[in-house]
Amino acid sequence: MNPRHSTDADAALFGNRFATQEVPTREFPETGMTATDAMRLVAEDLALEGDPARNLATFVTTWMEPEAQRIIAANLHRNFIDHAEYPRTAEIEQRCIRMLANLFHAPGETTGARTQGSSEAIMLGALSLKWNWRKRREASGESTTNPNLVFGGDVHVVWEKFCRYFDVEPRIVPLQPGKYTIGPDDVRPHVDENTIGVAAVLGTTFTGHRDDVVGINSLLLQIKDERGLDVPLHVDGASGGFVWPFLYPDSPWDFRLEQVRSINVSGHKFGLVYPGIGWLIFRTKADLAPDLVFEENYLGKTDATFTLNFSTGSAMVLAQYYNFVRYGRAGYTYVMRNMQANAHQLADKLEAMGRFELIGRDEEQLPLVAFQLAGDELGYDEFDIAWQLSAERGWMVPAYTLPPNAQNETIMRALVKETLSREHVDTLARDIEEACQILARKGGAHESERKKIVTGPGH
Ligand SMILES: Cc1ncc(COP(=O)(O)O)c(C=O)c1O
């Protein structure tokens, strides 16, 4: 036998030198490596990652059609911000904005922006609320030093982030045990002449329900009437903006309601596009504070921009347009109804186990199942189930506590997306039942296992 040792020449001939070598992790590499080596190194690292198809924690798209993927791959080299050089991409962005304004019942011509996701859209939308409020106050010679923004504890963390970054007082309506959304009675005591706006959520991160947008709109109309304060309502439709128009088309939450002045939606959630795309849509052009729009002379052409970032990819904008024309209302409705049907199937199965309580399954809700254990003295809890499911079966189903004052409630939440087929739902339900039986036998997860559990709702 020839006791040859593996050499770089062998690695070049047969494949992978990182089969036996440590990968670079700290020092900037002195020399490079072949493209094949680099590709295998990255791929082998990622093989240790969770499987996106079993990630039921995320709202974000984990599957797109092969044709959409071809468009994405073919356009990765196109910088979206170069409007002068890529005018068709800029035009396609405007088409998407017009289609979304139409979907959300804008009363006429309006404006909006493509963003990196709902977080950037919310920052920009809330900045516009602040600028418009300041202008109103200055026009009537009143103080502009103490702006506040009213929202519920059911919002995504980005709303508090906005308040901290841009110096606005957050007026947060706390949740209560058993009450995980807000309505007009919660909002009323917080609104005053320094309120730049109220934010309502359509499809909360925590349980997938909506705030009482209709009731809050009526309250703001009443305040306008009685106190002369015109307080705008922004709807955070990060997830719900692509769900309600198709599952609940007759339920008003959008520009059909007079005080709704701006809406954000994540293209990369139920817009069914891979990560990196969000939208901000105004009711009318006048709702976008003009001072926030920069007229730039860039490479010899004047361009108007309203963004926090500058350079970014075009691919997801093009993929969003692909989805709009590919699916239309009929296609989005079909996809949303399938997800909802499978969410109902999972909910039925969990209910039939007799171990769980479902949270608000009869209300308008995103296609997900939010649930918690029915009893207290079981020897295991929701965090243990999350651990057992991921350790044994690779399912990522998060367990988390709710925001104050519902912090003593622990819930689990399973997103039902396009790739979670009926067969997957049946398997998941069996795996949950089995996880509970195992945990009951062993008296919960071990302390060392509990330490590894990721808590938080995902997004
Ligand atoms: C209600 C809500 N708002 C905002 C966000 C932030 O969205 P993005 O991840 O698109 O920035 C999320 C994300 O989960 C969300 O659920």
Query: 271-311, pLDDT tens digit by residue?
Result: 999 999 999 999 999 999 999 999 877 666 777 889 999 99
Given ligand 1 and candidates 155, 239, 274, 415, which is best to mutate, with the most ligand atoms within 8 Å of its CB?
239
User: How far, in Å, CA of 415 to CA of 396, rounded?
Assistant: 10
Q: Report residue 1's pLDDT band, with 50, 70 and 90 as the boundaries.
A: very low
**CB-count exposure of residue 380 (10 Å: 0-12, 13-18, 19+):** buried
**In the predicted model, what is the mean pLDDT of the chain?**
94
Is the CB–ligand 1 distance for residue 236 below 6 Å? yes
* Over residues 199-207, mean pLDDT: 98
Global pTM reads 0.95
Instruction: Categorize the per-residue pLDDT at 177 as very low, low, confident or very high, splitting at 50, 70 and 90.
Output: very high
The torsion defined by the Cα of 251, 253, 254 and 255, in degrees rounded to 10, comes to 90
| pLDDT at residue 446 in the model | 78
- Kindly state if the Cβ of 132 falls inside 6 Å of ligand 1: no
Q: Are 389 and 436 in contact (CB under 8 A)?
A: no
Listed residue (106, 114, 155, 391) closest to 257, CA to CA: 106
Q: Is the CB of 181 under 6 A from ligand 1?
A: no
Q: Select from 61, 269, 459 the residue to mutate for testing ligand 1; criterion: most ligand atoms less than 8 Å from CB.
A: 459
130 CB within 6 A, ligand 1: no
Report d(CA 203, CA 254) in Å as an integer: 13
| pLDDT exceeds cutoff 80 at 243 | yes
Tell me the helix, strand and coil percentages in the chain, rounded to 5: 40, 15, 40
Number of helices (H) and strands (E), helices first, in the chain? 13, 13
Cα–Cα separations (whole angstroms), residue 168 to 128, 150, 153, 195, 217? 13, 10, 16, 10, 22
Token pair in block for residue 325: 């024309």
Indicate the top mutation candidate among 55, 114, 118 to test ligand 1's pocket, ranked by most ligand atoms within 8 A of CB: 118
Cβ of 266 less than 6 Å from ligand 1? yes
* Six-digit token string for 267: 């293209």
User: Is the CB of 340 within 6 Å of ligand 1?
Assistant: no
Residue 261 has pLDDT above 80, yes or no: yes
Residue 114: strand pairing partners: 279
| Ligand 1, atom 13: closest residue by C-alpha | 459
Mutate to test the pocket of ligand 1, among 263, 264, 266, 279 (most ligand atoms within 8 A of CB): 266
What ranges make up the beta strands (E) of 21-124? 112-115
Residue 59 CA to ligand 1 centre (angstroms) = 9
pLDDT at 139 over 60: yes
Which residue in 437, 239, 242, 420 sits closest to 344, CA to CA?
420
Cα end-to-end distance, the chain, whole Å: 56
Which is nearest to 150 in space by CA: 73, 60, 216?
216
177 CA from centroid of ligand 1 (Å):
23
The alpha carbon of 459 and the centre of ligand 1 are apart by a number of angstroms equal to 6
**373 phi/psi in degrees, rounded to 5:** -65, 145
Q: Which of 390, 393, 372, 389 is nearest to 381 (CA)?
A: 372
Confidence check: pLDDT of 157 > 90: yes
